[in-house]
Structure 1
Amino acid sequence: MPYIKYALVIAIASLLISSCTMTYPGSSAATPTTNPFTNPLPTSSDPMKDVENFATATALAKTAIAGGGPTATLGADGATPVPTDTPFGGSIPTNTPLGGVGIIPSSTPGIGGSGEGDTPTSTLAPVTGRPLTYTLQSGEHPYCIARRFNVDPDELLALSGLTRSQAYSLVTGTVLKIPQTGSFPGPRALRSHPATYTVASSDETFYSIACLFGDVDPASIAQANGLSLGSLLTIGQAIKIP
């Protein structure tokens, strides 16, 4: 029995000695993990304040995206959102015509309408100056035309191939050539005017009445009375002479 005890003790001792000298397989080198956040999130002594600031910044960002308004950026301390300025003071520029002056539209009554925009009907003013030719009307003669256009009657007759003896026998429609130089020798007016003339015969016209006054244009007489040159005149009718 003692022998067995000694043998068991020696065996146990051998095992203990061998275990002290046993080598373990080499462990692989640990690979350090990389922090995906290069900058740590800002922290403060109040965690609830951090959560409130983060929620406020998120709400401002959503509002800016939806409404096109100003965006918000976190301050340097990451706590207080600072709104950025909107260009032009936050106002939306309006279109202005060139020169900065607004255009004020004006209204004009349409055709057939009434009001101040309507164009009144007016009588054409008589033509002034010397025409190259003139066609005699009823009641006119070369001397009358010479006074009206302030030309020499003898020059007018000569230019038109007429003589003095023919002057009062010309028919309506005769074409006279009007001199472009010279003047009438003597007073042109035969009667003073403005005046009022009373029609004495049924064959009188504005043309013949103008010849009675000498230097008055028949178109001016018609215009002064609100009538046309071809209007029929009646005996006793009062005619205004301008």
Structure 2
Amino acid sequence: MVKVEKNEISFAKQAAQAGDIPYGGEKMSTKRYLVLLALAFLAIGLAACTLSASTPPPASSTADSAMQTLDANLSNIATQTAAAGGGGEAIPTATATAGSVDTGGAPATTEPPPPPPPPEKTAIPEATPGIPKTYKLEKGEFPFCIARRFDVDVGELLSLNGLNLNSVVSVGYTLKIPQTGHDFDGDRSLKKHPTTYEVLSGDTIFSIACKYGDVDPYLIAKINDLGAPYTLKAGRKLDIP
């Protein structure tokens, strides 16, 4: 209001100097005074509007300042929340186990196991070819049985091995087989064959062969798919060649 009064006085002086109105001891008419006063207020209003229009507020700087303030507030809130929850359980974080591979939920593929090795074929012995020079006795065998099997003279067999009709030989005894070519004196076959035989307790392929006389035990094993040690169970049916 002080500035307005000074402006009014200034305008009054200017008017007096221009000869429009008297100043000092001269009396100013009320009408002119009011007109000058209105002009003064109008000039002040125009000056204020011009100043306001020429200096618009910095919108961008104000927005940036607001965003910075918001970020700072959010940061403070997060810090206070973490400090307040310090005594609670920590949120577990996912950690990759060493050696594990994230398949994204897809089922793990596994290689099929290798096929089992083929079973080893059972070694099936061949029938004894011709007439051997020696033969080792197996369980259930005796000199007369061997003489029938190889079609040799039993007297020569006993004499060659220093045996007689009353001699007892054990399993594993090695007999010398005569090579004179003299045949067995008598019927070599004791039972008719080929046929089927039901295994009895204590039987071996060697004792069964001796029951038939001229049958080779290894041929029995071959046609019945038997491998060493040629174990037999009572009640089994064997094909006899």
Highest CA radius of gyration, 1 or 2? 2
Please identify which structure carries the higher helix content.
2
Please give the TM-score of this superposition, normalised by the length of structure 1. Answer: 0.48
Task: Give the number of the structure with larger relative contact order, counting CA–CA contacts within 8 Å between residues 6 or more apart.
Answer: 2
